[in-house]
Each structure stands twice: as structure tokens, then as C-alpha cells.
Amino acid sequence: HICKSRPGDYTDVSSKLKDSLKEEFERILDGNSLTGHRRYLNEVYTELYIVENETGGVIQGHEVRQMEAVSSRSAGKDVPIECNNIFKVQADGKRNKKVLTMGIAGVVNKFILDWSEGKDNKDIAFIFPLPFRELNLRKEEKLSLIELLQECLPGSTMVDSLPQGDGKILFVFDGLDECRFHLNFNDSDKLKDVNQEASVGAIITNLIRRDLLPSALVWITSRPAAAYQIPRDHIDQVTEVRGFNDNQKEEYFNKYCGTDVGSTIFTHIRKSRSLYIMCHIPVFCWISATALHSLSQEEDSKTPTTLTGMYIHFLVQQANQVKKKYDGSPQDIILKLAELAFYQLEKGNLIFYKEDLEACGIDVNEGSIYSGLCTQIFKMEKKSSEQMVFSFVHLSVQEALAAIYVFYCHKHYKKNVFIQDLKHKFKWLLRRSSYRLHKSAVERALQSKNGHLDLFLRFLLGLSVKSNERSLEELLPGLRRTSGRVQKTINYIKDKIRLSESSERTFNLFHCLSELEDDSIISEVQNFLNSGDLSMMELSSTQWLALVFVLLMSDETQEMFELRKYRESDDGLRRLLPVVKNTKRALLDCCHITEVSCELLASVLKSHSSYLLELDLSNNNLQDSGVELLSEGLKSSHCKLQILKLDCCHITEVSCGILALVLKSHSSYLIELDLSNNDLQDSGVELLSEGLKSSHCKLQILKLSGCMVTEKGCFSLALALSSNPSHLRELDLSYNHPGESGRGELNERLETANFKLQILTYVSSERIKPGLQKYARKLTLDPNTAHVDLSLSKRNRTVKWTKAVKENPQSPDHPERFDTWCQVLCRESLSGRCYWEVQWSDMGVHIGVTYRGIGRKGGGNECWFGQNDQSWSLDCTKVNYTARHNSAKTIISAEGRCSYKIGVYLDCSAGRLSFYDVSSNNEQQKLAHLHTFNATFTEPLYTGFMVTNATVTLCNLDYPLVCFNPWESRVQNKLNI
């Protein structure tokens, strides 16, 4: 029975189409059945999620490299949505009509199955799946869209006309990476009629460009490497399938193998970072479960821990199944399939037709037999044109077989398949070796722009490892073993890493070393990391690349990256920039970063593949020029940044004007901006307010603490909030001088119903001084705490070490006195924000900040500043500075910044304690940042000094009249006065 459509009545043909699609898509070849039977899709796959990427970036690269890039991270402004929802009308009334989905192949199957079963997307009358592997068969034909549908539709469905109406038809072009014809989007010929004849490529491009059937929905799927073929301006939404998350991986193994065996397999896979990341790909979960199921009861030493080992075990199991169905040896079948895999991989082909098989000595009938014998390796599809289409079950299986072919040719025929010309073939015969084969493969893989040979290279190198060679003998009996010497190859790869200019391509070489079971470089870096302080270590370029590789593979740094743990400098940031690009939170505060790094950070913010949400650049000397460079990234449509901290970055009102432009940008997602402790003054706040007025501004938290703001600046802020009151909910104006009139202006606005402002902070009425001096505290030394060898003078503002009893008569004993360490505390407790300066001379001084309860009696660490969890210290000498806390230390060179005067800034609520070298230039004070401790301070603090052969003086500063504790001056949901 042929069901034809009648104009205006499409119910019957739609129903017939659904029946045909349900039959085609409800079962998939999962590999669980050793006889090659198919299983129901709903029984096998845990539900996949598509993650929106509104930036629309298209990445060129291998599927596995994309999995390694995203691994366990979920993007910041990306919103997980179920695949069935991508064409539904959104809350804003908009509907995406042209969608490009990148990532795991075959995601459309679930969408089509749910539609055909009537479970979802019922408003769509027709879904026409048009996979590129079938369209390739018609690449030379001229036909109309209606004719194309009649030829390609499953079953006996016939369509003579198409329904009108928005979103009634969905065309699914699956597998763009399998396309073998050119898509020319610049062709000026436009198709308007569904009966007009044209090439298949022209029909597709006209549908995507909306020239033909502009109301139709179009869904293109592709592996990342091929997605660039569709121009971004023809796509409404780019989405990316991220594959299994961590819970879904474990669920799959438990569902597939049973809870006990599945749990054992999953535990083993988690031990290998590379295997665990690969399990984001559902097919790899199946391959792993198949390979490890029979090994789950064997010794751990026999269980594969590398990618190569896993795939060899998988292929050996498939060969064993072939033996049960086939009287002859499966070796001939495996080798013919391996040859096909290699030569098609070189061409970038994932699907094969009659002519491709014949080029490798396989006729179509033989190919059909292979697909029946090797059901879990090689598959055949019979298309509506009665032509056969062949493919491997997954690209990684094709890559593994391709590597086996190259390896076998070398061992059995003494041939290097990468060498084609006679001259080089002759040289090869004279000096053939595994090393030279490996060298040729590495060079060929590095020449690939999109890395399509990267995984193949890992497999090929891994085959030379003894344990894998033994397993390979089961697959290819009689294969001659090598001497097992791969050290020359390892050394060559290390040299390539050292000389590499592209860190992204270099990372695959680290994976290659892992396949060769050499982790020496990684182990070196791990030892450095375990030492706790990389700041003073000299790393080679290779070690730096290894460090980046280790950090990129870490779940911890994908969530948060702290530069100070590794190297506090512009050079350190430059070397570790790929890690910044790969993290959600980049904490670069107090790292001696200058404007030089701002341009690098802007490039990260402009990258479509960056997931950076929070950037903390506080306490760095960026200046206005640095903010200007950074703004180029902040204004990019690809920027996802939500939190920007520029506390104490030596910026002025110039930066406020720059940031105002960022806030006005429709692409800005900033919700928190911290500009505290910069001398912005009223002129800067006025400029910033222009950005706050914009309807595009989404800022929720604005911190202007200690920015020299007076009532004039408050007027500007009040006016801005009146213009755009819908977002800002927290405003910090502490340590400024708003005056009564400034407070009144903001008070008046707070009473307005549509204001979202919940927290408004004012602290201190006399904070109009520049820099950190606005937080100056007058301190005096406490004689009752001073060690007997210390002499106090100048109204207890100076302490001198003296051991002569006649110069320092015996002080009376006191329970607060230090009796062993030559230390002294100040009388005044410290809370809120405080700043003081210390002048020292002679041998040096330890400047400490401590809780009152630090030990006083005895010579243990519990009494020594910086050697316990109660205190923090900076040891000052002419050669270097040493920051200490709880016995951990960081050494800072004093070269070029030893002025014998130290500034100390404490922000208790922020948990920050910073030390600066203070120098004067043309009567202007200059602060050079030395070190910052970050901690949670739970009680008032006291400063103190350890003095040996030195003199220390608390400097006189211009002290404010009033000092308030912000912990006691913060009111929620009400104005704080």
C-alpha cells in the first residue's frame, strides 16, 4: 500500500511516516548481543542533554579532543535542555528554526523516535531524516526537493506536496562530517519551488538559507571537525552534545553489566584519567564494558589501563566471536577491514561505498558478509536506492584498526605506508625501524590542522608496548614481535614537545607518552606540585607544558584556578593561559600582573571556547591602560564573564569610562563589579553611572569601597539607579565621604517600590585620602609583651634588640611576655580595614599579624610568628622576603625593591592580609606588592615583630579621625547609616 499526501490533508501520510520511522529508529546496534541483535534505544542509553552555546562558536577538532576539553565542566551561561525542546517556542516567544548540533553522533535518533511515538513535538507534521551518508549517493543527480523526499523516505511513504505553516516541517541533515559534496552558500541561484530541480547540495543550502521553504525547521548535526562548513549567520542556535555526565557513566555500566560487575569496571576506569574522560562518549562506554566484562574477574595486571590496551581487548573479543560464525581464520577479515580503515581515515571519510571497498580488494557481497560476521565492528545499511553504505560502529574503532594496519605492514611486509616516493622508500629499506615509522606517523599527525590523526597516533604508538603486542598476537597470530625498545621514540616525542609552538597540539603528544607507558615528565611536575611551592623553581619549557597538561586534566582547576600557587608574574600567566581559558573561576589576585597580561586575558574572554565566569585581578598594578586592553575582551559577544574584581589595581576615572561602555553593551553578562580601593573620585563615579543607566546593564553588585566618593558621586549613583532600578541589589560605599546630602539622595530612592537594592553600606565619615592611607591605624607597642632583650622607645613606637643588661634592665615578669623568641605585640586590636607602615634597619625583622592567643612561653612553633595556624608573618632581609603561615613558607626576591619600609594592609571581612615594599619617588609614595595571605579571620588581630640585631619603628601616618568596624555596620534590607 502506497500512502500519498493530498493537499491540505496530511494526516494519513504523516501517520505512515511515523510508523516507518519508529520501526527504523526504535532499535540500535548497541553491541550487547553477541549475535548482532539490536536493542531498544530507550533501554540502552541514559538520556542525553544538549547544552546551549549562545555565542555560536564552531570548533574544529577531533571529537575526543572536545571531550577532553569539556570533561566534567558545565559551561557558565550554558543552560542544559532536553533534546526534545530545542525547536519549541521559548518563553520570549522566539523559536529557533535553524539549529546546528555538534558533539556525539546520532543524537537525532531519540528526537525522531519520541516524535514518531507521539510523545513530543506533536505540532510538527513531518520529520524528514536526510542523512548525508544517503545524500552522498545522489550527489551527481539533478532532482527537486519533492523527488528527493520520495527517494529517501523510509518504507512506502510518498509525498506529493508539503504543508504550509510555521514549523510544520523539520528537515534533519544528520552527519555533516560524512558529507562528500560541496555546500556552496555563496551561490546566487535561489530555489523557491519544491518542484524545481537542482543538485542535492543546492537544495540543502537553499533550505538552510531560507530561500526554499523559509518556514521549515532545519537541524544539522556534525562532529566538531566539520561544523565550520555552515556559516554562522545562517544558524539561529548552535548547540553541543556533551555526552554522559559522571552519574550517567556509572549508571550505564551498572545497567549494562549488572551492579556488581559494573561497579568493578567503573572503579577501574576511574583510575585512568584518559579512559574516564573518554567515557563521556556513550559508544566508548559500550566498548569499555564489552572489553572489560570478561576481564572483571581476572588479575588487575591483565586489565588494560591505556586506550590502546582497551581497544585491543575489544577487537580480540570480536575476533573470537567471528571464529564461532566463520570456519576460517578471522585474521584476513580483520586485515582487510584495517586497510579500509586506514586509507579512508587519511581521506577523512567515516562512511564507505562500493568503490571504497573495491579499492581495498573487498567486493560489496564480501562487505555484506563482514558486516554480518563483525556486527560490533563493521556495519552495513541498505538505503532506499538499494545501494549499500558501510561504516565502522565508531570513529575510534576505525582509528584503532587503521593503526593496526600500519603496524602490521611494518612488521609483516617491512613497509612504511607513509612513504610513497621511490627515493624515500629506498632509504627506508636501508634504515627501517619502529622508531622511523613512529617518527613518520608523528610528523604526519602534527601536519593535520584539525587533529584527525591524533587518536590514530596514540593507538599506533601504544601497539609497540610489550603488553599490547602480546594481546595483538591473539588478533593476528604469527605477528613478529619487536625488541620492545621504544625509548628512542619516547625521546623523540619529548624533543617535539620541547620545540612545539602550539600547546594545544602538544597535549596529544603527552597522551602518546602515556600510551608508551612513560609518565616521567608528568611525574616530575606532580612532584613539583606536591612540594607545595613552584614560585622559586626553574621549570623548563617542557615542564611548563606538562604543568599545563596536568592542570587541564584536573577537575579542580576546571572549577577554580589560582595563579599564586604556581607563579606570580606576567610570564606565569602567559604560560598557564590555556588553564585560565579552561576554568570557571580565575583567581589572579596579588600576582604582580601588569597591563602586559591584560591583552592575553582579553583574548581568553573573546574566545568562543572559554568558560570563564569569574576573574579576580585585585591587588595588581594594571592601571587604566590595562583596563582598556581588558575591555576588548569584555565587550566581545563571546564573553561569558559574570564577576570582575579590580580591587586596588591603581585605576582612575579613565577606567570608569571604559567600564561604562562595557556595561552598556548588550552582550555584557557582568553581574558583579568590584572597584574598591581605587582613587576613582566623583568624576569616575559619574562616568560609571552612565553605564549603570543603560537598559543593557545587568549589574547586581557594585563595590566602590574606599574610592574617594563624596555627596556629588552619590547624586550620580542615585540618578543612575532611578533610570535603571531593576537589577542592582547591593551597593558598597564604605570608607567614602557621602555626607548627609549624599545619603539622603540614596535614602529617598530606597523607598521606591521598584528598587531591588537590598544592601547599602556606609562606613566611616573621613575616608577621602588617596590609596591605602585612608585606612591608617595608629599603633603602639605593648611593653608587657616585649621579650627582655628588646628595648622600647619613642613613646613605644620603636623597638631595638639589645643584649647588654646595662642598656636594658631586667623587665618584670608578665604572663603576656614572650620568654624565648625576641618578639613584641602592639596594644591595639585590628578589625575592619587597617593600614600601617614599618621602618626597619640592620639585619632585618619578622613582621607578624596574630590572634591574641598565640603562645608566649617556650621556644616551640606555637609561639613563633608565622609558624602556626594562629599567625602570619613576613620576614624581611636585604636579600629576600619570606612569607610564613603554619610553617609553610613562600620566598620572594628583594632584588630592586628593598627600601627598608614595609606597608601592611589588613581587610578582615575580605580575609586579606597584604604586605608592600614602600618607596618614595619625587615625594610620591609607591607601593610594590610583595605577598598576600588569604584567610578567614575569626577574631580580632594584633600586629607584632620579631627583632634580632635590628631596630624597628612604626611610621607616623596621617590618621583619619574616625574608624568604624564594617562587621558592626552592615544592615540587610535597610539603609545602613
**Least confident segment among 7-11, 391-395, 461-465, 686-690:** 7-11
- CA 715 from chain center: how many Å? 42
- How far is the C-alpha of 386 from the C-alpha of 837, rounded, in Å? 87
Q: Where in the chain is the domain with CATH 2.60.120.920?
A: 777-954
Domain 777-954 has CATH 3.30.1490.100: no
Predicted confidence (pLDDT) at residue 36 exceeds the cutoff of 50? no
Residue 700 and residue 728 in contact, taking contact as beta carbons nearer than 8 Å: yes
Predicted confidence (pLDDT) at residue 35 exceeds the cutoff of 80? no
Binned at pLDDT 50, 70 and 90, residue 183 comes out as very high
- CA 818 from chain center: how many Å? 50
Q: Assign residue 858 a region: left if phi > 0, alpha if psi is -120 to 50, beta otherwise?
A: left
The pLDDT value recorded for residue 398 is 93
The mean per-residue pLDDT over the stretch 248-274 comes to 86
Helix crossing, 711-723 with 681-693: angle to 10°? 0
Give the cell for residue 417. 605506508
The mean per-residue pLDDT over the stretch 830-854 comes to 92
Predicted confidence (pLDDT) at residue 834 exceeds the cutoff of 90? yes
Q: Where in the chain is the domain with CATH 3.40.50.300?
A: 3-243
The pLDDT value recorded for residue 533 is 65
Residue 594 and residue 602 in contact, taking contact as beta carbons nearer than 8 Å: no
Give the cell for residue 380. 552495513
Q: What is the fold, at CATH topology level, of the domain defined by 3-243?
A: Rossmann fold (3.40.50)
118, amino acid identity? G
Give the cell for residue 942. 594584633
The mean per-residue pLDDT over the stretch 153-159 comes to 64
The pLDDT value recorded for residue 441 is 95
Higher model confidence: residue 443 or residue 803? Answer: 443
The pLDDT value recorded for residue 974 is 35
Binned at pLDDT 50, 70 and 90, residue 60 comes out as very low
Predicted confidence (pLDDT) at residue 571 exceeds the cutoff of 50? yes
**Which DSSP helix (H) or strand (E) runs through 565?**
none
Q: Where in the chain is the domain with CATH 3.80.10.10?
A: 556-769
Residue 948 and residue 822 in contact, taking contact as beta carbons nearer than 8 Å: yes
- How far is the C-alpha of 71 from the C-alpha of 138, rounded, in Å? 38
CA-based nearest residue to 686, from 719, 734, 661, 728: 719
- What is the number of alpha carbons within 13 Å of residue 777 lying toward its C-beta? 25
**Least confident segment among 47-61, 249-263, 462-476, 843-857:** 47-61
Predicted confidence (pLDDT) at residue 31 exceeds the cutoff of 50? no
The mean per-residue pLDDT over the stretch 638-654 comes to 94
Residue 350 and residue 178 in contact, taking contact as beta carbons nearer than 8 Å: yes
The mean per-residue pLDDT over the stretch 494-508 comes to 82
For the chain, give the percent of residues with pLDDT over 70: 83
Q: Which residues contact 774 (CB under 8 A, 6 or more apart)?
A: 706, 708, 735, 767, 768, 835, 960
CA distance to 17, 65, 603, 938, per residue, from 272 (Å): 45, 16, 32, 41
Q: Assign residue 932 a region: left if phi > 0, alpha if psi is -120 to 50, beta otherwise?
A: beta
Predicted confidence (pLDDT) at residue 76 exceeds the cutoff of 60? no
- If DSSP states are collapsed to H, E and C, what string results for 867-905? CCCCEEEEEECCCEEEEEECCEEEEEECCCCCCCEEEEE
What's the pLDDT tens digit per position in 205-247? 999 999 999 999 999 988 777 777 888 889 888 887 767 778 8
152, amino acid identity? C
- How far is the C-alpha of 965 from the C-alpha of 763, rounded, in Å? 8
- How far is the C-alpha of 208 from the C-alpha of 102, rounded, in Å? 16
**Which DSSP helix (H) or strand (E) runs through 966?**
none
pTM of the model: 0.77
What's the pLDDT tens digit per position in 372-396? 656 667 777 765 556 788 888 888 9
- How many C-beta atoms surround the C-beta of residue 966 within 10 A? 22
The pLDDT value recorded for residue 37 is 42
- How far is the C-alpha of 18 from the C-alpha of 125, rounded, in Å? 10
Residue 772 and residue 927 in contact, taking contact as beta carbons nearer than 8 Å: yes
Give the cell for residue 724. 535603571
What's the pLDDT tens digit per position in 710-753? 999 999 998 888 887 768 889 999 888 888 888 887 777 666 65
- What is Dmax (Cα atoms) for the chain? 119
The mean per-residue pLDDT over the stretch 909-936 comes to 87
What's the pLDDT tens digit per position in 844-890? 899 999 999 999 999 999 999 999 999 999 999 988 899 999 988 88
* Placement of cell 622600647 in the chain: 792
Residue 487 and residue 515 in contact, taking contact as beta carbons nearer than 8 Å: no
Beta bridge partners of 158: 4
Binned at pLDDT 50, 70 and 90, residue 687 comes out as very high
CA distance to 814, 823, 863, 957, per residue, from 859 (Å): 17, 11, 7, 34
463, amino acid identity? L
Gyration radius of the chain's alpha carbons = 35
* Sign of torsion over alpha carbons 331, 332, 333, 339: positive
CA-based nearest residue to 890, from 905, 906, 872: 872
What's the pLDDT tens digit per position in 96-140? 889 988 865 556 787 888 899 888 888 899 999 999 988 998 988
Predicted confidence (pLDDT) at residue 960 exceeds the cutoff of 60? no
What's the pLDDT tens digit per position in 390-433? 888 888 999 999 999 999 999 888 888 988 777 777 777 778 88
Binned at pLDDT 50, 70 and 90, residue 58 comes out as very low
Dihedral of the CA atoms 130, 136, 138, 141 (nearest 10)?
120
Give the architecture (CATH level 2) of 556-769. Answer: Alpha-Beta Horseshoe (3.80)
- How many C-beta atoms surround the C-beta of residue 938 within 10 A? 8
Beta bridge partners of 219: 99, 172
Q: Which residues contact 443 (CB under 8 A, 6 or more apart)?
A: none
Predicted confidence (pLDDT) at residue 971 exceeds the cutoff of 60? no
The mean per-residue pLDDT over the stretch 273-284 comes to 83
Binned at pLDDT 50, 70 and 90, residue 6 comes out as low
The pLDDT value recorded for residue 848 is 97
For the chain, give the percent of residues with pLDDT over 90: 40
**Cα–Cα–Cα angle for 427, 429, 433, nearest 5°?**
100
CA distance to 88, 217, 230, 557, 820, per residue, from 53 (Å): 17, 19, 16, 22, 63
The pLDDT value recorded for residue 968 is 34
> DSSP 3-state assignment of 379?
strand
The pLDDT value recorded for residue 11 is 81
Higher model confidence: residue 533 or residue 147? Answer: 147
The mean per-residue pLDDT over the stretch 654-658 comes to 97
Q: Assign residue 579 a region: left if phi > 0, alpha if psi is -120 to 50, beta otherwise?
A: alpha
Q: Which residues contact 485 (CB under 8 A, 6 or more apart)?
A: 434
The pLDDT value recorded for residue 155 is 56
